[in-house]
Structures are given as C-alpha cells and as structure tokens.
Amino acid sequence: MKKIPFLLTLPWFLFAGYSAHISPITPTIKSRMLRGHSWHRGCPVPLSSLRYLQMTYRGFDGRDHSGKMIVHANVANEVTQIFGELYRSGYPIRKMRLVSRYQANDHASIEADNTSAFNCRAVTGGTKWSNHSYGTAIDINPLENPYISRSGHIAHRASLKYRKRAHIGPHPRSVIVRGDTIIRVFKNKGWRWGGDWRRVKDYQHFDKPGAQRGRIPHVPAQLKHTKASSHIVKPGETLYQIAKKFGVSPKDILNINPEITDPSKIRVGQHLKLPKK
C-alpha cells in the first residue's frame, strides 16, 4: 500500500490496521512510573523529555493488540514508524507493556517476554546509565532473543534453546536472525543492533545512542488532555463533516478517539468524543 507522506508528521499513523499515538507523560502515567520505580529523581532525563506511545502490534496469537511503550521525545516519531513497518511485515511480538508493570525489574520483564524501552537503570553488569535510561533503547521479545555474556552465560532458562540463532521454536519469526527485516528497518533509522556486538551478544536490543541530545520536539496542542463533549454519528455523516460542524480538525477527533482505526469507516450511532475548542 502506498504511504501518504503527510501522515508521518501526525501523532496518528493509520495503514493496514496499524495505529500509533504519541502523547506527553500525563500525571496518570507519571504516577505509574513512580509507583513502578521506572523513573525517579536523579534519572538522566526529565519526564518532559519522554513520550508515551500506544501502538498496534501483531501478537503471537496472530491477532492485533494495543501495546504501550515510553521512549525519548527525539525518537518517538521514528519508533512509531519502525513498529508500523514491523506490523506490516508480520513480525510477531508476545507483549508490549511498560516496565513499571514489573516494578522496573529488568529480569522480571524479560521473564514475561515483554518488549519495552525506557527504564531508568544502569547497563547490564555496569554502573553507567543504560541507553534505556534515556528512552533510546528497545528490547524486543527478550526470551527468544537473549543477552549472552562474554562467557556465554544466558540468565533465563527459556532462552537456552535460542543460543543457536535460527528461526526455531513455537514462534520462529520472533527469533531475530542476521538478515531479517526487523534489523534492516531499525538500521534504516540509524539504530544499532546488539547482535552485532563483539564481546557480548544482545539479540533483543536496539538502540540509538546520543539521540537524546538536541532540541526536544514541540508537543502539539491537540495532544494535551482536555475535556471533551460528544457526538453521535448520524446517517451520511463523515468525520470531516463532523469536524467542520464543531469547528475542530479531523486530526483532533482522532487524537481522543483511539478506537478509530480507519477514519473513513465511522459507524452510524457511534459515540465520538469531541475536543474542547
């Protein structure tokens, strides 16, 4: 399907069933991060430099699911584009939840085979800040794509069978092997793959060091959480007509109605939230 270029600058990306939404860290998400210990005072980035992503992914069950991830603002747009490409390629992901759900315990998140990004922690086996602490690193299907130490140690029993890199196991496409589409998609955006490292191998890991530097993208006003009225879709109405009627943009309506995956297919009788002008 041909991409529509202007969509790439919007907070929503809609194609072939995939959708992604970017928003600032709201008070609710902040509370979850604090309770879950994934962020605290003294972390190398402020919450204002992070973004909360909601993205569609193809599960191990072959169905579409809504995943959550936190990344640095400077990579938020490209991360949604990357996962859009992975969705379209059919790459499966077991789950995608915030690491705060696991009390920021990296071991527990890996045991759950959870795909995640931001976590204010040190590098594995060291004291320096990990790139995860900046929101510029992502771990994908960590059980199928394990971290292997210099000595060859693998910490997770379920990962032992994946020492030999091949498309094996119950979900063979989830195993990242050199030459796979997922590696190309990340590298096309300037990200590194841990499978290329010499002394250790971190097959789950993709990062973009230094991406946190520079100007933080402006958060569009339509992404701010505001009170909204509602409208019931009437026969013959389109999203464009409704937006024009209430003096808002179709994009604003999409931002607060994440259940809409195809703007051209709103239903008669559907309740739409309307942004406050």
Indicate if 175 and 135 belong to the same structural domain: yes
Q: Is the pLDDT of residue 165 over 60?
A: yes
Say if 45 falls within a structural domain. Answer: yes
- Residue-wise pLDDT tens digits, 39-83: 999 999 999 999 999 999 999 999 999 999 999 999 999 999 999
Confidence of residue 252 (pLDDT cuts 50, 70, 90): confident
- Residue-wise pLDDT tens digits, 190-236: 999 999 999 999 999 999 999 999 888 765 544 433 344 678 788 78
Say if 217 falls within a structural domain. Answer: no
Domain range for 264: 226-275
Indicate if 162 and 247 belong to the same structural domain: no
Say what the pLDDT of residue 220 is. 54
* CATH number reported for the structural domain that contains residue 238 in this entry: 3.10.350.10
Whether this prediction's pTM lies above 0.85 is answered by: no
Indicate if 106 and 234 belong to the same structural domain: no
Say if 123 falls within a structural domain. Answer: yes
Say if 220 falls within a structural domain. Answer: no
Backbone angles phi, psi at 22, to 5 degrees: -115, 130
Q: Higher model confidence: residue 221 or residue 238?
A: 238
Q: How many domains does the chain have?
A: 2
Indicate if 201 and 245 belong to the same structural domain: no
**Residue-wise over 250-267: b if at least 16 C-beta within 10 A, else e?**
bbbbbbbbeebbebeebe
